[in-house]
């Protein structure tokens, strides 16, 4: 059964995709993603392994939906600034194709956590593939060229989201940063509650994420995208510097990003 948070995010994702006013293919892809029973089960199991077995933060349906929302906001800002996606620049697809690839990659990217943390981005590729095939076959009926193209782009986004493998498309770069932006205290709430009930002592990512109150993604002053991270104490700087900043550094979207972080009521530190 979907949680209230998942249902709320589903509504926001549907609203954002609809606001692009495209052909309807992206809306169809999103609808399938949000209703696919195998995908939902895989997301929930990935979260169980991540939180209960490994003691990590949330890597389940809420996280994957949040990453998708972050990615859509960034795509919208890039489009408003006149920045073309890689498919558009290569003249082999349009913005909607890029949007579908980013949506699929975002919502499928952490399925590999059901196997384990190590190389989970690569495990996610083959776990996501049968689900992705169902979606693209339905959305691009009879258009094999687009099915193949969007599939490859989506898998690049999945395999590259940790920053451990070089990516080349702007679409994959957006997914990588969108993943890094989901680091607020909500992701650490359940793992921290379990500390003391098991032999695990907690994880630095849990404690640092627990200090981060909000992450805002909006239009920048000098670049298309500005990311503002607000935290309750300085522990959050670990999350910014060891997770988000490293993902931005290896992302093809880095030239379009401004990054600020601050403890509430203190002066913001500008990283980019």
Per-residue pLDDT of 176-227, as tens digits, reads: 999 999 988 755 544 444 444 444 444 555 567 688 999 999 999 999 999 9
- Predicted TM-score (pTM) above 0.85: yes
Please state, as a whole number, how many other Cβ atoms lie within 10 Å of the Cβ of residue 182.
24
Per-residue pLDDT of 233-242, as tens digits, reads: 998 898 899 9
Question: Based on the structure, what is the number of domains in the chain?
Answer: 1
Full domain range(s) for residue 31 = 4-270
**Beta pairing class for 257-263 and 225-231:** parallel
Mean pLDDT, rounded, for 100-116: 97
Instruction: Please report the pLDDT score of residue 108 as a whole number.
Output: 98
First to last CA, the chain: 41
Averaged confidence pLDDT in the chain: 91
User: What's the CATH code of the domain at 156?
Assistant: 1.10.1300
Show Cβ contacts of residue 245 under 8 Å, excluding neighbours closer than 6 positions: 259, 271, 272
Among candidate residues 82, 56, 54, the one with its CA nearest the CA of residue 204: 56
140: tokens are 């691009």
Mean pLDDT, rounded, for 72-88: 98
């Amino acid at each position: 059964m979907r949680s209230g948070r998942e249902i709320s995010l589903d509504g926001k994702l549907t609203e954002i995709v609809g606001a692009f006013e495209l052909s309807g293919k992206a809306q169809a892809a999103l609808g399938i993603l949000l209703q696919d029973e195998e995908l939902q089960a895989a997301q929930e199991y990935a979260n169980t392994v991540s939180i209960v077995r490994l003691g990590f933060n949330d890597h389940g349906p809420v996280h994957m939906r949040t990453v998708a929302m972050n990615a859509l906001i960034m795509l919208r800002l890039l489009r408003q600034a006149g920045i073309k996606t890689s498919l558009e620049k290569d003249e082999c697809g349009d913005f909607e194709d890029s949007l579908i690839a980013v949506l699929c990659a975002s919502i499928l990217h952490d399925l590999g956590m059901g196997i384990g943390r190590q190389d989970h981005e690569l495990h996610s590729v083959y776990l996501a593939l049968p689900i992705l095939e169902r979606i693209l076959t339905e959305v691009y009926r009879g258009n094999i060229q687009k099915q193949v193209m969007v599939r490859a782009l989506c898998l690049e986004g999945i395999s590259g989201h940790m920053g451990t493998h070089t990516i080349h498309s702007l679409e994959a770069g957006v997914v990588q940063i969108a993943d890094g932006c989901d680091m607020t205290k909500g992701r650490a709430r359940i793992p921290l509650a379990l500390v003391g009930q098991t032999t695990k002592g907690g994880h630095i990512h849990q404690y640092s994420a627990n200090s981060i109150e909000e992450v805002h993604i909006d239009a920048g002053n000098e670049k298309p995208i500005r990311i503002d991270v607000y935290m309750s104490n300085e522990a959050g700087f670990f999350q910014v510097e060891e997770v988000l900043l490293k993902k931005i550094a290896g992302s093809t979207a880095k030239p379009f990003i401004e990054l600020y972080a601050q403890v509430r009521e203190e002066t913001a530190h500008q990283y980019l």
